[in-house]
Copies of this chain bind each other. A is one copy, B any other.
Amino acid sequence: MTTSASDTRVPVYFDCDTGIDDTLALVYLLSRTTHRTVGIGTVSGNVSAEQGARNTLDLLKLQGFEDIPVAVGQFDHFRAPYAGGPAHIHGVNGVGDVDLDRGGEPIAEDAADLLIRLSHEHDGALEIIAIGPLTNLAIALERDPSLGSRVARVTIMGGAALAPGNLSPAAEANIAHDPEAAAAVFEAAWPVTMVGLDVTMHHRLTHDDREQLAAAEGELQQTVAAILETYYRFYDTILGVRECTLHDPLAVAIATGDVVPSLAPVVKVEVETGSGPARGATVADLRGMYRGNPPVEGARHTVVLTVDEPFGPQLLQELLKA
């Protein structure tokens, strides 16, 4: 990994709550030769920010990327203290209770400060991929309101424009955990691509895919297969099949351009922060759908609504090669 000025790879700040599908997303992101992960921040969500950093550092060691700085981010969300993660989905430790070899240690900066620093070092080029609650991004915007002007794009896994929510009828979990932070991220002066349940629920790894990973020779593949077991067990109770949805890795693949959405209008998105039944809803102004999605002047929120090609097979190939 080089840091020279002639490096043409896209610099990425990755914000995550690692997490089983975060694990897949991280492995996939690091496999991209077009992009260079220059820093990772963690936030409480699937697990606490501290545990997420531990998992991330251990996974970086496994993949040979120990030089990427990892910063612990916010433990609590804007309005609600962190209440612990869903151990039945991600395991108690967030990586399916698999014991990973211990990697390095987090840096002293917190995630928001890391993001602000990287935005200066890669002014105008930095892209953010955020696959957990958006707390760190909102804290960074509070600390430095000019941040938006130095970031090329933010891609988030989160929200549900036309699809039902998951944590509540109206809200997807990453947004629901910190609606105030999400509202700040959509209000800020940077372009945001929202990869929500509208698409992520339709892309899966199958039982057979996992068997292939388990049967592979690489330690990485075998570890990923072991981590996935807990996730499959949970999704079996939800979907009725031993498969898992690819929320976080799909967001990464769309951010890197490896997956191109077939329908993704650019509109205005607002986040409902009231305390009613729609709290945490991503309210996307998709009324243009009724008249052929004409361009919306000044809009900067790309809402991914359809991805035609199934992403599972592509992800499996990359995981087998990684």
| Closest Cβ–Cβ distance, residue A75 to chain B (whole Å) | 27
**Contact assessment for A277 and B270 in the assembled complex, using a CB-CB cutoff below 8 Å:** yes
**Given A162-B162, A170-B278, A238-B290, 11 other A-B contacts at CB below 8 A?**
A162-B164, A166-B290, A169-B283, A238-B291, A240-B291, A270-B277, A272-B276, A273-B276, A276-B276, A276-B278, A278-B281
Interface status of A68 (Cβ within 8 A of chain B): no
Considering the chains assembled together, what is the distance between the CA atoms of A302 and B162 in angstroms?
Answer: 18
| Closest Cβ–Cβ distance, residue A47 to chain B (whole Å) | 23
Q: 1/0 contact trace for A159-196 toward B, CB 8 Å?
A: 00011111001100000000000000000000000000
| 28 pairs, CB–CB < 8 Å, chain A vs chain B | A162-B163, A164-B286, A165-B287, A166-B290, A169-B268, A169-B270, A169-B285, A169-B287, A170-B272, A170-B278, A170-B281, A170-B283, A238-B291, A239-B290, A239-B291, A240-B291, A240-B292, A270-B277, A271-B277, A272-B274, A272-B281, A274-B275, A274-B276, A276-B276, A276-B278, A277-B283, A278-B281, A278-B283
A276 cross-chain contacts in B, Cβ below 8 A? 270, 272-274, 276, 278
Chain A interface size band reads 20 to 34
Considering the chains assembled together, what is the distance between the CA atoms of A321 and B176 in angstroms?
Answer: 52
Closest B residue to A276 by CB, please name it. Answer: B274
What is the copy number of this chain in the assembly?
Answer: 2
| Closest Cβ–Cβ distance, residue A305 to chain B (whole Å) | 11
Closest B residue to A164 by CB, please name it. Answer: B286
Interface status of A5 (Cβ within 8 A of chain B): no
Interface status of A107 (Cβ within 8 A of chain B): no
Closest B residue to A171 by CB, please name it. Answer: B283
Check A201/B170 contact, CB under 8 A, given A275-B274, A276-B278, A285-B164: no
Check A169/B274 contact, CB under 8 A, given A240-B291, A291-B238: no
A170 cross-chain contacts in B, Cβ below 8 A? 272, 278, 281, 283
Check A166/B287 contact, CB under 8 A, given A240-B292, A272-B272: yes
Interface status of A284 (Cβ within 8 A of chain B): yes
Q: 1/0 contact trace for A259-302 toward B, CB 8 Å?
A: 00000000010111111111001011111011110000000000
**Contact assessment for A281 and B284 in the assembled complex, using a CB-CB cutoff below 8 Å:** no
Closest B residue to A163 by CB, please name it. Answer: B162
| Closest Cβ–Cβ distance, residue A36 to chain B (whole Å) | 35
Q: 1/0 contact trace for A31-56 toward B, CB 8 Å?
A: 00000000000000000000000000
Q: 1/0 contact trace for A57-77 toward B, CB 8 Å?
A: 000000000000000000000
Considering the chains assembled together, what is the distance between the CA atoms of A278 and B284 in angstroms?
Answer: 10
Considering the chains assembled together, what is the distance between the CA atoms of A274 and B47 in angstroms?
Answer: 31
Considering the chains assembled together, what is the distance between the CA atoms of A284 and B170 in angstroms?
Answer: 8
